[in-house]
Amino acid sequence: MYERLMPKRRACDLGALGAIFFLSFLSLGALSASCWALSAREILIHADRARGNLDGVVWRLAIESDEQSGRDRRNLEIKARGYDFLAVMTDPPKVQGHKLLMVNHNMWFAKPGLSKPVPISPRQKLIGGASYGDIAATNYAEDYDVLSMTEESLGGHPCYVFDLKAAHKKVTYDRIKYWVSAERLVGIRAEYYTLSEKKFKEAEFEYAHQLGGSAGQAPQPFISAMKIVEVLAADNVTTLRFSEPRMETVPASTFNVNLLMSR
């Protein structure tokens, strides 16, 4: 990842002495160097891409919810482009054919037997602790203001820790504390807070998948698991497992609400 930062470093080349000094600086702490080279917003853009913010990607999603009130599961097939996605539930049979469409941050829900798609808000629950908005790619770089960015180690991995505040009222969470791996530039942990500054939800992320990597481009890490724990009921755990991701062209008609009922 640091290779991408080199052009910026060269731009600030102060000559050989400077280079030696700079390399010494790097050897003392790559974390500080990358922090210097990448702005907070650029780091968030990298982290957003690994959460699905890509030009055309298809994957399967398995959600398991284990709560005091019982266990539940959903399997979905998802087609996404940027922040738009179409999610079709495939299992269990009672939800087969249920669809969730998000276009330009407008969301609709449809299912067999329902005559037309129903507009829904991102807060509406999908299953367990997962809201419909949790399927969507994140856009923290634009939806949130960075109040602070610090560095700390999480599980032995150096991280940037962002204190994010909603830039507008239309986002799912008002405030987020977000840990981004300094090595991979992917979000690995998040804490979600209410308007009253009360923490109500925690999430951890894994990135075992890689996308792309052809035509001279570096492979792009892609989310493989998201574990959501409700703070007020720590036994309530919802796990989202992302599998079989592949990049492909997804036409605009996929996200057309007029065709949703007949998809």
Partner 1 sequence: MTRSFRRCGRNNHGTTGLRVGIVSVACAAALLAVPHSGSGSEAPRPSSDAQAALDTLFTWCRERTDVHGEILTYGVGQRARHGAQNPHNLILDVPRAIGAVEARPDGSFRWSRLEAAVKPRWRAQESYWDSGRTPQGWDGDTDFFVNEWWVRLEAVQGLFVSYGRENLQWGPAYFLSPTNAFFRDNGRSNPKDEVDGMDFFRITWIPSASWTVSVMVNTDEGRQEWMRDFEQTYAVKVDWTGYRRYASFIASKRADRRWHWGGYAGMTASEALLLYTEVDMSLGSPALYPEQDPASPFGVVLTDSRRAEKRLNPLILVGGAYTLASGPTLVAEYVYHHAGYDEREADRFFHVIQAAGAAFGQPSPVGAAAAATLAQSLDPGLRLLRRDYLMLQYQHMDWWKTLDVVLRTTFNVDDGSVRLNPIVEYDFGDRMKGFVVGAQTVGSDWAGLRSRTHPNRTEFRRIGDYSFWVGLEFFF
Interface residues toward partner 1, by CB under 8 A? 65, 67, 69-72, 84, 91-94, 96-97, 103-107, 112-116, 118-125, 127, 133, 169-173, 194, 251-253, 255-259, 261-262
For residue 34, which amino acid is it?
Answer: S
CB-based burial of residue 235 (10 Å sphere; 0-12 exposed, 13-18 middle, 19+ buried)? exposed
Q: Closest separation between CB of residue 61 and partner 1, Å?
A: 17
Q: Closest separation between CB of residue 34 and partner 1, Å?
A: 32
Which is nearer to partner 1, 28 or 114 (by Cβ)?
Answer: 114
Q: What is the SS3 assignment for 243?
A: strand
Q: Closest separation between CB of residue 225 and partner 1, Å?
A: 22
Which is nearer to partner 1, 69 or 150 (by Cβ)?
Answer: 69
Which is nearer to partner 1, 74 or 209 (by Cβ)?
Answer: 74
Q: Closest separation between CB of residue 232 and partner 1, Å?
A: 11
Q: Closest separation between CB of residue 87 and partner 1, Å?
A: 16
Which is nearer to partner 1, 135 or 171 (by Cβ)?
Answer: 171
CB-based contacts of 34-43 (< 8 A; 24+ apart in sequence): 34/1, 34/2, 34/5, 34/182, 35/149, 35/151, 35/160, 35/182, 37/5, 37/8, 37/9, 38/5, 38/185, 40/146, 40/149, 40/160, 40/162, 41/141, 41/146, 43/149, 43/160, 43/162, 43/180, 43/185
Phi and psi for 257 in degrees, rounded to 5? -70, -25
Which is nearer to partner 1, 27 or 115 (by Cβ)?
Answer: 115
Count of Cβ atoms closer than 10 Å to residue 154 Cβ? 14
